[in-house]
């Protein structure tokens, strides 16, 4: 599990931006191609954020689905887990056009 180090990084970023204010919510944007497990991030958060101003912060995950664009016909689609073929023209000439996000978008502070 790499969620512990990911959670530590999130906490570092959050505390740096909170500037001594109490953090109520952390808004994360995670693309489908960046794999983390929500529940285990929240689990680690409850442990490592204890005794900080972010101890009670709720983690909010905004999930961005993986997106591909067909180079042949321009169709934009969400790929399945078994094929990346364009569902419109069945071309394999497609490229990843979304879903790489992995960032702390904003925080809500008191």
Binding test (CB under 8 A) with other proteins, winner from 54, 57, 59, 94 = 94
Other C-beta atoms lying within 10 Å of the C-beta of residue 23: 22
Binding test (CB under 8 A) with other proteins, winner from 63, 81, 87, 98 = 81
From the list other proteins, Zn ion, none, partner contacted by residue 83 (C-beta under 5 to 8 A by kind): other proteins
Judged by CB under 8 A, does residue 66 bind other proteins?
yes
Rounded CA gap, 67 and 79, in Å?
A: 7
From the list Zn ion, other proteins, none, partner contacted by residue 43 (C-beta under 5 to 8 A by kind): none
Tally the C-alpha atoms within 13 A of residue 78's C-alpha that lie toward its C-beta: 7
Binding test (CB under 8 A) with other proteins, winner from 15, 64, 96, 98 = 96
Closest to other proteins by CB, 50 vs 93, is 93
> Strands, E, within the chain: which ranges?
23-31, 58-64, 67-70, 76-77, 94-98, 102-109
């Amino acid at each position: 599990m790499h969620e512990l180090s990911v959670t530590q990084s999130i906490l570092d970023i959050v505390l740096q931006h909170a500037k001594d204010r109490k953090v109520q919510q952390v808004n994360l944007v995670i693309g489908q191609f960046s794999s983390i497990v929500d529940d285990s991030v929240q689990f680690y958060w409850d442990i490592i954020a204890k005794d900080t101003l972010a101890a009670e912060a709720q983690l909010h995950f905004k999930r961005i689905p993986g997106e591909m664009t067909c180079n042949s016909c321009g169709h934009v689609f969400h790929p399945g887990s078994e094929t990346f073929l364009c569902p419109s023209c069945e071309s394999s000439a497609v490229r990843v056009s979304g879903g790489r996000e992995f960032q702390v978008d904003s925080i809500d502070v008191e």
